[in-house]
Amino acid sequence: MNRNWFLFAFALVALASCSVEKRVYQPGYHIEWNHFAKQDVQQDVSQDAMQDASRDVSQDLSENLEIDVAQDVAQGATQDVAQDASQELSQNLSENLSSNLETNVSQATGQSIDSDLEMVLFIVLALFLPALTIFLLEGFSKNFWLALLLMILAFALPLPIFLKLMIQAIATVLAIAVVFHYL
């Protein structure tokens, strides 16, 4: 009986620090850990600022290039000056694009860490409460009802301990297979 209270308390603590949303295009639910929500907003704001700054820089460079080329053409400059200016513009744009690419790659690795953490937490939850794990991923599906039936059989029937553990192991394996399917 103490084990059930421990699992219930663990589930409450784990779910109190997150938000659960019903998925729109896939069955099941999505858990968003509030701990990362502030970081995600800050990353979005900084990414928008970087995109705005790079767009402004490229517009300023192109306007300056057009002005310089127009002045050089007006002064009778050769075509080499225009080519040098276009090479300078392409070099500046490639540097800006490479710096934006580096920031996007670093943000993408941060997002993969979040999804890895989500998978680990779902697996830990699957070890203790397989039916709840399947419910969070799929909703009321046949896998959920099967895992719930197995857990009820494991705890309600007066069976030897090795049979109870076998039934619970089957439900856990089912839940872990669902976790790997959706994540």
Q: What would the pLDDT profile of 103-120 be if each residue is shown by its tens digit?
A: 665 565 555 557 778 888
Longest Cα separation, the chain:
99
Q: How confident is the model at residue 20 (pLDDT cuts 50, 70, 90)?
A: confident
Averaged pLDDT for residues 11-33: 72
Rounded Cα distance between 151 and 146, Å, is 9
Q: Structure pTM?
A: 0.43
Q: Under 8 Å CB-to-CB from 92, ≥6 apart: which residues?
A: 57, 58, 61
Q: Report the phi/psi class of residue 76: left, alpha or beta, with left for phi > 0 and alpha for psi in -120 to 50.
A: left
- H helices of the chain, in order, are 2-16, 34-74, 79-128, 130-138, 142-156, 161-182
